[in-house]
Amino acid sequence: MSDLGGVDTQLLEVESLHKSFGGITALGGVTFEVESGTLTGLIGPNGAGKSTTFNIIGGMLQADSGAIQFGGEDITGESPDYIARKGLVRTFQMSREFQNMTVIENMMIAPTSQRGESAIQSITPGLREDVSEQEEDIFEKAWEMLELFDIDHLALENAGALSGGQRKLLELARALMLEPEMLLLDEPFAGVNPTLEKKLINRIERLRDKGQTFLLVEHDMDMIMDHCEQVIVMHQGDTLLTGTPEEVQSEERVIEAYLGENVE
């Protein structure tokens, strides 16, 4: 961990996370770093502890021990909403769009610090106009994003009526509305057709080029190896190794880990 006060390019630093459920150890000392402005992959066989790690980083679970630093700040033990507001946003493996709200509402709910989230501002005659002004901006942004993801024609549909792949797109689009510094993506392409997947990863790369950081959990090895600068490998609750795709692919331990499981 860099504490020299110099230029710190490690946006997310995870140190020695331990987590047990009952008698079962899910995480036994997970440690890794994610560099700012990268597209980093997190891979590992089923049961490696990837989702648990995401849950802990995102604040939904508390680690038994260990520390998490984001942008130099210690966020260990903070609440999920605090972490999201700090710029570290996650998506869910089982997409959690708001089923009874329209797609456009799902998008517009996302941005942080909306004036109108204060009841008083929304009610009071003069202040409500200011809220509406901001609503226009949010609407524009949401519409742009929907167009980017090709789901604008679904804007007035209830999110619950969308297909699986469309819901994944909405989940991603919605997360991006928060303009997060870093996005934790939990299998964002599951159920998405290959053409769309390619398009999406290109969009993500462009966002990465503009400075956003992505940590991606995926099972599509080709996708990870082709697009990620860094790959973190987890196995049985531990970080096996971190390296470039080439380094990881040739590492024997990784191959063994996967051969021990049924992998595609």
Partner 1 sequence: MSVQDDPIANRLPDSLVGYWESDLVKIGATLAAVYLLYLIAGLLLGYGLSGQLNSLRRLTFLIVLYSIGALVVNLHWGYSGLFNIGVVGFMAVGVYTTTILTRPVAGQNPTGTLSGLGLPLPVAIVGGVLAAALVGYIAALPSLRLRDDYFAIVTLAFAEIIRIAVKASELQEFTIFGATIGTGGGRGIRTYPNPINQFFEGTGAPIVDAVSSTIDGPLVSGWTFVLTLTLVLVCVLWLIIRIVESPFGRVLKGIRDDEEATTALGKNTGSLKIRSFMIGCGILGFLGIIWQGSQGYISPGLFVPQLTFFIWIAVIIGGAGSNTGSIIGSILFVGTIYLGPGYVRRLIEKFISLSGQATNFPDALGMLAGGDVSGILLYTLDQTSALRVILTGILLIWLLKRRPDGLFGNRREMASSIDIESRVRDRQSSDATDGGRE
Partner 2 sequence: MWERLPFSEYVVKAAVIVFGLTVLFDMFRQLTTGELTIALIASYLWRGLSYGLIIGLAGVGLSLTYDLLDFANFAHGDYITLSAFAGWGVAYLIAGFNQFKPGSLLFLGVGGAVYPRDVGVSVTSAPVAILFGLMVAALAGALLAIALDSAVYKSMRGAGNITLLIASVGVAFVLRYTAVYLFTQQTFGLTIDSWSYEVSLPGGTVTITSASVLLLFVSVFIMLGVHLLLTRTKLGKSMRAMAANQQLARVTGIPSEKIIRRTWLIGGALAGVAGFMIALLQGTINYQIGWTLLLLVFAGVIMGGIGSVYGAIVGGILVGLITRVSLIWIPASFTEATGFAVMILILLTRPAGIFGGDAA
Options 2, 62, 132, 202; binder of partner 1; rule CB under 8 A: 132
DSSP conformational letter for 262: -
Binding residues for partner 1 restricted to 17-76, rule: CB under 8 A: 58, 60
Residue with tokens 């409500």: 128
Q: How far is CA 189 from the centre of its chain?
A: 12
Give phi and psi for 91, each to the nearest 5.
Answer: -110, 165
Find the part of the chain contacting partner 1 (CB under 8 A) among 33-41, 133-141, 208-216, 255-263: 133-141
Does the footprint of partner 1 cover residue 119 (CB under 8 A)?
A: yes
Q: Which amino acid does the sequence have at 26? A: A
> With DSSP H G I counted as helix, E B as strand and the rest as coil, what are the percentages for the chain, rounded to 5?
40, 25, 35
Q: In 10 A of CB 190, how many CB atoms?
A: 16
Chosen from partner 1, partner 2, none, partner binding at 251 (C-beta under 5 to 8 Å by type): none
Q: Which is nearer to partner 2, 45 or 59 (CB)?
A: 59
Tokens found for residue 203? 């969009």
Binding site partner of 77, from partner 1, partner 2, none, Cβ cut-off 5-8 A by kind: partner 2
With respect to partner 2, which residue has the nearer C-beta, 63 or 108?
Answer: 63
Could you count the other beta carbons within 10 Å of the beta carbon of residue 55?
21
59 binds partner 2 (CB under 8 A): yes
Indicate the residue among 61 and 240 with the shorter CB distance to partner 2: 61
Please classify residue 66 by burial: count the beta carbons closer than 10 Å to its beta carbon, then call 0-12 exposed, 13-18 middle and 19+ buried: middle
List residues bridging with 184 in a β-sheet.
Answer: 90, 215
Q: Which is nearer to partner 1, 18 or 128 (CB)?
A: 128
Question: Is residue 60 part of the contact set for partner 2 (CB under 8 A)?
Answer: yes
Side chain identity at residue 33, one-letter code: E
User: Is residue 80 part of the contact set for partner 2 (CB under 8 A)?
Assistant: yes
Q: Is 117 in the site for partner 1 (CB under 8 A)?
A: yes
112 binds partner 1 (CB under 8 A): yes
Contacts to partner 1 by CB under 8 A: 58, 60, 79-81, 84-85, 89-90, 92, 96-102, 104-105, 108-110, 112, 114-119, 122-123, 128, 131-132, 135-136, 139, 143, 150, 152-153, 155-158, 161, 174, 178
Contacts to partner 2 by CB under 8 A: 59-62, 77, 80
